[in-house]
């Protein structure tokens, strides 16, 4: 069984005197074919660096143990993109030491990131045109959307992801977005 990692960023705009400032807050989501395994907001001001990501991976392992005991016992795969924190040597060593097999993501390939072809379209379609009064309202809406994903939605996402993985193999790791059917 594979667990996919997705990072979603919320950009909120605030007015301070005559200038507008933007705050980016991240949300890390891990899901499998059945359900969301773990969703975690990155604290405001926190950089997702290798130390922070190891903390997230530690929490993910605990969630897998609690929610997916069969995976905990039999092994599972992790698919994540090529964010710097994901590729840090300390993170790779942590995952190897914990016997978590990582499915490699080809360099510079957005083609295999489920957030791009599966989650973002669902997340963006619901609040489109809605004015949120606070970041907390945006977070609540995003969690509502994620919690409404059905097993059917996630199964379709994984089937689409597997299809894209095959396209990636067929194209020898080259960009193939325009060739997706």
Domains belonging to the chain, first-starting first, are 2-14+22-179 (3.30.420.10)
What percentage of the chain exceeds 70 in pLDDT? 80
Q: 133: number of CA atoms within 13 Å, CB side? A: 0
Question: pTM here?
Answer: 0.78
Please state the rounded mean pLDDT for residues 11-31. Answer: 54
- The span from the CA of 119 to the CA of 121, in Å, is 6
Higher pLDDT, 27 or 3: 27
pLDDT value of position 110: 65
Question: Given pLDDT bands bounded at 50, 70 and 90, which one contains residue 26?
Answer: confident
Question: Given pLDDT bands bounded at 50, 70 and 90, which one contains residue 59?
Answer: very high
Please state the rounded mean pLDDT for residues 64-83. Answer: 87
Nearest CA-CA partner of 148 in 28, 31, 22, 27: 31
pLDDT value of position 127: 65
- The span from the CA of 160 to the CA of 176, in Å, is 14
pLDDT value of position 136: 80
* Residue bearing tokens 């939605």: 153
pLDDT value of position 13: 40
pLDDT in tens, 91-101: 999 999 999 99
- The span from the CA of 18 to the CA of 97, in Å, is 51
> Quick one: which H or E segment has residue 108?
none
């Amino acid at each position: 069984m594979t667990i996919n990692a997705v990072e979603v960023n919320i950009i909120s705009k605030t007015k301070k005197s005559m200038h507008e400032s933007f705050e980016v807050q991240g949300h890390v989501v891990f899901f499998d074919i059945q359900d969301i395994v773990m969703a975690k907001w990155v604290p405001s001001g926190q950089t997702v660096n290798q130390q922070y990501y190891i903390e997230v991976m530690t929490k993910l392992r605990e969630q897998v143990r609690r929610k997916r005991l069969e995976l905990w016992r039999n092994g599972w795969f992790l698919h994540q993109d090529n964010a710097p924190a994901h590729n840090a040597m300390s993170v790779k060593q942590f995952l190897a030491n914990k016997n978590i097999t990582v499915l490699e993501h080809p360099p510079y390939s957005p083609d295999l990131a489920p957030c791009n072809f599966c989650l973002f379209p669902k997340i963006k379609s619901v609040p489109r045109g809605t004015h949120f009064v606070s970041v907390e309202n945006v977070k609540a809406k995003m969690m509502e959307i994620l919690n409404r994903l059905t097993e059917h939605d996630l199964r379709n996402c994984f089937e689409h992801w597997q299809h894209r993985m095959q396209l990636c193999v067929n194209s020898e790791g080259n960009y193939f977005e325009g060739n997706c059917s």
